[in-house]
Amino acid sequence: MDELELLKKDWKSREHGLPKLSYTEIYQMILKKSSSIVRWIFIISILEFLLWASLDIIFKLNGMQAKVEKVDMGSFSLIASIASYCILIYFITRFYLNYKKIKATDSTRVLMENIIKTRRTVKQYIWVNIGFFTLTILATMAYMVFFTDEFQNRSIEEQAPIWLVVATTIFIIAVFVGFIILFYRVVYGILTRRLKKNYKELEKLEV
């Protein structure tokens, strides 16, 4: 293509017109902090881990834990607690390992894959948490309805609202999960839209 050859010639001849930074100016630059997408992903992911890991504490501070314990679900809450910490440790380890793999010296494709993988780990953690959270609420509710004296000993008239309790709980869970999905769509959208677009472009198979 003649035009591209013409451009190449011009491109080379224009080198002398490029800006020239001094040693000091470049030195100043290495002292600054990166504002790269990876740094943002790292900060946001850590915040997400902190938020979800601290939900437990928030519950305790709210007195929710006391209420749950009053229901006396035996070892269920203990097991749930241990499981949630194991999940947290597993995901943080995976996140850290993936994060360490991100290197600007890899090829563009590998770099993109590693970033996407790192982000995916956090996404999976969020989903596991939502699932876990939903399950805990449902289990607690089922236990309360079927096994506690409070509900079992009620007269027929008093029992009527059980379906209402179930419906309300499901509704609240649905709203909550919906809200989280919406929130993540926005956060992911902002962070990774361009990355995903470029990755797809690179992946496109030739015909």
Does 189 bind other proteins (CB under 8 A)? Our answer is: no
**Within 114-133, which residues bind other proteins (CB under 8 A)?**
115
Task: Give 196's contacts (C-beta < 8 A, 6+ positions apart).
Answer: 116
Q: At what angle do helices 162-203 and 37-62 cross, to 10 degrees?
A: 170
Does 164 bind other proteins (CB under 8 A)? Our answer is: no
From the list 147, 205, 196, 202, the residue with the least C-alpha distance to 41 is 196
Does 175 bind other proteins (CB under 8 A)? Our answer is: no
Structure tokens at 159: 């029992």
Secondary structure (3-state) at 45: helix
Residue with tokens 């938020």: 51
Q: How many residues bind other proteins (CB under 8 A)?
A: 48
Of the candidates 43, 47, 110, 187, which one interacts with other proteins according to CB under 8 A?
Answer: 110
Of the candidates 60, 81, 100, 111, which one interacts with other proteins according to CB under 8 A?
Answer: 111
What 162-171 contacts at long range (C-beta under 8 Å, 24+ apart), as own/partner pairs, is: 165/141, 166/141, 169/137, 169/138, 169/141
Does 100 bind other proteins (CB under 8 A)? Our answer is: no
Does 7 bind other proteins (CB under 8 A)? Our answer is: yes
Provide the minimum distance between the beta carbon of 77 and other proteins in the complex, in angstroms, as a whole number: 42
CB nearer to other proteins: pick between 33 and 157: 33
Interface segment toward other proteins; rule CB under 8 A; list 13-21, 78-86, 118-126, 131-139: 13-21
Does 187 bind other proteins (CB under 8 A)? Our answer is: no
In the chain, which residue ranges form alpha helices assigned H by DSSP?
Answer: 2-13, 23-30, 37-62, 64-70, 76-101, 108-147, 149-152, 156-159, 162-203
Does 163 bind other proteins (CB under 8 A)? Our answer is: no
Site string for other proteins, 53-92 (x = CB under 8 A): ----------------------------------------
From the list 37, 1, 33, the residue with the least C-alpha distance to 198 is 37
Residue ranges in contact with other proteins by CB under 8 A:
1, 3-4, 6-8, 10-13, 15, 17-23, 26-27, 29-30, 32-38, 40, 103-112, 115, 194-195, 197-198, 201-202, 206
